[in-house]
Structure 1
Amino acid sequence: MSRLSRVALGPQRRAVVGAGARLIDIYAGLWEHGLTVPAGTCPTVGIAGLTLGGGIGFGARKFGLTCDNLVEATVVTASGRALVCNAHEHADLYWALRGGGGGNFGVVTRFVFRTHPVAGVATYALEWPWSDARPVVQAWQKWAPHAPDGLFSVCNLNCAGGGSPRITSAGQFFGTAQQLKTLIAPLTATGSPTRVSVVSRTYMDAARMWAGCSGTIAECHLQPQGALGRSTFKGKSDYANKLFSARAVDTLVRGIESRKTRGSGSAIVLLDSSGGAINRVPKGATAFVHRDALFSLQYLAYWQPTDPPAVGAANLRFLRNLYAAMRPFVSGFSYQNYIDPELSSWKHAYYGSNLARLVSVKRRHDPGNVFNFRQSIPTRL
């Protein structure tokens, strides 16, 4: 699949992308034309899986999810047929490919995306003393989901074993630095920020910055082709459809604080803002059902691949305990691109009210369940 990586500009300035293309190459190829497709921040992620499960990133509140910008796909089904799927041909499969998860219906070989003109953006980075964590989370959750569409924001709570917990926030705005300074005032007025940074960048420089690879595009690939290494981690996810209570915020903060005494490794919880263009799409318009969330949560535990098994086990216990502690405060939904083999309620958590229709599409295009895995959409409920 990695050889199907061509990125080209087609009629109507639409991006024609091979299913093996990596995000950093799509960003770079389209940037030459002053265009983009909204996608994620991790440079080595493939476009196929990202699109099929949704596709959240710093352009999502302005331009929609990656799947919302998909206008056509070519899919090889279990029968061996190559189907061109769009709003007029095989529309049922086209619907399912926009958020129904990767690997369920066939092998997608080609995507066609709507593109958007881009030039400059402004980014911000804030940090506070940990003693401000509770009011910062409260302020962020009331502000971020309702900010102008052009502003995507993340709140980051993290702690390494034996270290001190930290709380930061970062975001990107399609506008000027002065406009962004005004927009983040509810955050800078909360607590006593120790770092306030607002910077104007080109869209491509911002993409490289979020990707953690400020060097050449070639370096923004995994070794040995590039300079990036792999991480060892476990993740889980949630969606919050209503504001966290003081008790919920306290549970989250105390959970991160407990990581100080849990040995090697580190823990991160990322709150990613929803709203804007993401939430204006009706739940049933695509297979991506998470259209009424305020924000999502990523729970992440990291350790080194050379660590003894006991270290990995301890990090997993921490992650599971924090995730369990947050159950009373979240929606019961999870992001299907953060696939979690431990999730017993995955059918509802990933697909909600769209599950029955996805099962129908699966039965029509893969009746023999050729494309199956532990959490694949079944042919029957």
Structure 2
Amino acid sequence: MADLEFSVTRPQAIVHCRSAEDVAEAIRFAQAFGLPTVPRSGGHSFAGYSTTTGLVVDVSRMNAVTVGDGLVRSEAGTQIVDLYDHTLPHGLAVPTGWCPTVGIAGLALGGGLGLEGRRHGLTIDHMVYAKVVLADGRIVRCDEQHDPELFWALRGGGGGNFGIVTELGFRPVAVDAMTNYALNWDWPDAVAVLDGWQQWAVSTPDGMTPVLTVELEDAAPGAQPRLTVHGAWLERPADLKPLLERLVKLVGRDPASSSQETVPYADGLKHWFGCDGMTTAECHTVGHNPEAKLPRVAFARARGNFCTASVPTEGVAALLTAFEAQRRAGQMRNLDFLTLGGAINRVPADATAFVHRNSRYYLGFAVGMMEEVPEAEQQAAADWVDHCWAELQNWSAPYTYQNFVDPQLTDWRERYYGVNYDRLARVRAAYDPHHFFRFPQAIS
């Protein structure tokens, strides 16, 4: 598991599958012995839903990738950084997410928000087929013509609901270079920066990925948050300068520092993955392979919402006040604005199960601690996230990203799936009528 907090759960067994047939055999075994069963790919579920006290069907060793005939075919256990390692030598990419060690299946089944979304769309917008092992052990290959309702549901319906995906096919996009940029403002300028950035971000071309991050590496009293506007520009490098000049004009204050760099696509991605200067083998979580360098987090909480309109100045001030509240040494805090729009929002809300096609931003609060801490410190961190999330409800839409599972939600059906939930429930009834695949927020 990526989060050590969930490693205390002890499954009765873990099956490390090598093929769809292995997965089918594991499911039949679990059915015969009445074992609660969950799939695991990258092990990044925010709520620990990829582990159980029953049987874990682990597909992480199913990680073959082939590129050819206009398609990228990937087994379900391929991690994002490894997928790019296979496609970029061909000048191709499948738009994916922000974290290098997430499994492609888990990412895609929940939609696939990421760096390339405004330019190219979500991960699911490039999916052309899926191979799935159903609750009865059958192996099906679904697409727009074969089991189309299942294919619709898999594109945004979330992992673990309809079967265990073993292979996915994608239509890739051509890529070349990437220009990463960053502008840093002093903390007293925060309200002006967030106001100006919101006006700017939604007006930028699709080739722009605008991100705004408020960060405290240690939330000890007196520490000053870091405020960064950053992102990737996927068009001509020369066209970036006037866009950033407009941002500065809207903010009304010069940044304290700024930078931009045009680099090969692989290097640009590794910057966003937190893997600058690392090899692909090193850009994995410790324990994945002997060279892996990325640490596991001991405790983490994250909660957020989509925003369908800009947050007014009053709301910006309230959110920043919440961010600063309840200071506690040892907490790493983040407030992130991730911009949608572009190709993401040109797809109708009912074309796939991913309903969030009219949002401007995803706005999320997160806290993490790298070392084990007493339960009281964990609770204090969780309380801070809850405090911020409560304030966020005043300034956002009542929807959240199904891949950022929030186990505290009682109205998760509406927040994750909106008007698409009833159709998803019908698909679930057709393909898993006895609810073999179960977890606290399973579609039913």
Normalising by structure 1, we get a TM-score of: 0.96
Provide the C-alpha distance between the structure 2 equivalents of 1:268 and 1:17, rounded to a whole number of angstroms.
32
Report the secondary structure of 1:134's partner residue.
Answer: helix
What stretches of structure 2 of length at least 5 have no aligned partner?
1-58
Equivalenced residues, count:
376
| Correspondence for 2:301 | 234
Provide the C-alpha distance between the structure 2 equivalents of 1:145 and 1:46, rounded to a whole number of angstroms.
29
Report the secondary structure of 2:347's partner residue.
Answer: coil
| Correspondence for 1:179 | 239
| Correspondence for 1:373 | 439
What stretches of structure 1 of length at least 5 have no aligned partner?
none
Report the secondary structure of 1:334's partner residue.
Answer: coil
Asked if the contact 2:64/2:78 (under 8 Å) is kept, the reply is yes
Asked if the contact 1:155/1:270 (under 8 Å) is kept, the reply is yes
Sequence identity of aligned pairs in percent?
38
1:52 to 97, 109, 112: 109
Letter in 2 for 1:4: M
Letter in 2 for 1:311: E
1:274 to 335, 340, 352: 340
Asked if the contact 2:296/2:370 (under 8 Å) is kept, the reply is no
Offset from partner CA, 1:336-381 (integer Å, 9 cap, x none): 0000101111000000010010001000111001111000101xxx
Is 1:138 matched up with 2:195? yes
Is 1:4 matched up with 2:62? yes
Asked if the contact 1:177/1:198 (under 8 Å) is kept, the reply is no
Is 1:201 matched up with 2:259? no
Provide the C-alpha distance between the structure 2 equivalents of 1:220 and 1:61, rounded to a whole number of angstroms.
25
Provide the C-alpha distance between the structure 1 equivalents of 2:200 and 2:421, rounded to a whole number of angstroms.
32
Report the secondary structure of 2:349's partner residue.
Answer: coil
Asked if the contact 1:221/1:228 (under 8 Å) is kept, the reply is yes
Provide the C-alpha distance between the structure 1 equivalents of 2:316 and 2:364, rounded to a whole number of angstroms.
15
Deviates more, 1:331-340 or 1:139-148: 139-148
| Correspondence for 1:313 | 379
Is 1:216 matched up with 2:282? no
Provide the C-alpha distance between the structure 2 equivalents of 1:220 and 1:246, rounded to a whole number of angstroms.
39
Provide the C-alpha distance between the structure 1 equivalents of 2:110 and 2:164, rounded to a whole number of angstroms.
14
| Correspondence for 1:360 | 426
Letter in 2 for 1:246: T
2:318 to 251, 256, 268: 251
Question: In the TM superposition, what is the alpha-carbon distance from 1:79 to its structure 2 partner?
Answer: 1.6
Report the secondary structure of 1:43's partner residue.
Answer: coil
Asked if the contact 1:188/1:196 (under 8 Å) is kept, the reply is no
| Correspondence for 2:206 | 149
Question: In the TM superposition, what is the alpha-carbon distance from 1:221 to its structure 2 partner?
Answer: 1.0
Provide the C-alpha distance between the structure 2 equivalents of 1:107 and 1:233, rounded to a whole number of angstroms.
26
Normalising by structure 2, we get a TM-score of: 0.83
| Correspondence for 2:166 | 109
Provide the C-alpha distance between the structure 1 equivalents of 2:77 and 2:330, rounded to a whole number of angstroms.
35
| Correspondence for 2:77 | 20
Provide the C-alpha distance between the structure 1 equivalents of 2:116 and 2:272, rounded to a whole number of angstroms.
12
Asked if the contact 1:146/1:276 (under 8 Å) is kept, the reply is no
Provide the C-alpha distance between the structure 2 equivalents of 1:269 and 1:186, rounded to a whole number of angstroms.
23
Question: In the TM superposition, what is the alpha-carbon distance from 1:23 to its structure 2 partner?
Answer: 0.2
2:392 to 326, 337, 340: 326
| Correspondence for 1:170 | 230
| Correspondence for 1:298 | 364
Provide the C-alpha distance between the structure 2 equivalents of 1:280 and 1:14, rounded to a whole number of angstroms.
23
Offset from partner CA, 1:104-127 (integer Å, 9 cap, x none): 000000000010111111111111
Q: After superposition, where does 1:23-42 map in structure 2 within 5 Å?
A: 23-42=80-99
| Correspondence for 2:23 | none
In angstroms, what is the RMSD of aligned CA positions? 1.1
Deviates more, 1:123-132 or 1:169-178: 169-178
